[in-house]
Structure 1
Amino acid sequence: HLDVFLRLCEQDAVRMAYVVNDKLIPRMIKIGFKQLEGIRFEWDDSEELTPAEIREVERLLLQHYDIEAQYFIDKYNIPVKPKAQTQGKEKQSLMNGGQNAGHLAPNAPQDPFV
């Protein structure tokens, strides 16, 4: 049923675009709306992602690619700077139970929950 409904909606959209482009706009130009000359109506069929979906896409991209900081500056209008180098050492220290900060013990587990 959904497929039938979607096909009907698509057919209606095509018909509406025809009416607007081939009937309405030419008649409006004829009565004085000269700014519409050369204009065509087109549906925007692109899908909008929810904020949660956008975050997930960005998270996946960041896992596999180096993304320019300017992308996040432009998109979110916030200043972005690289993480401090000390965070890596702190993580290693935590993974090692707080011992030998800066490097792992020879037999230290790689996962703190193991």
Structure 2
Amino acid sequence: MQEKKRTIQILRIIMPIVGVFCIVAFSPWDGIWAWITPVPDTVQEQVDDAIGHGLDGIIVYVDEAGKPPAFYTAGWKDRDNKIPADPQSLFKIASIDKLYVAVATTKLVNDQRLSLDDTLAD
């Protein structure tokens, strides 16, 4: 019985230390800094800050009600030739439409509006 109490006392000391260590060691610090740093005052400042996260170039289109649409750009259209990004720049991006199609299909199957065993004509 004494040994069990001693083990519990040791665990009460060690477990909080292990918990704090895990929080410090395994926290996504990049994400935490994104939440605690002040947000820039303008969209352009935010776009400029985004380049610091490893993007070659970025274009943001903002369409607010009652205001004319606005483009914000930062970075390079062509880094090697030092051509800055502009609203008409084209970038190579990964295709993620397959992900959207898969999610939509899964939802339709789950709602029984689509069957994977039938044809679309059925």
Q: TM-score, normalised by structure 2?
A: 0.27
Q: TM-score, normalised by structure 1?
A: 0.28
More helix by percentage? 1
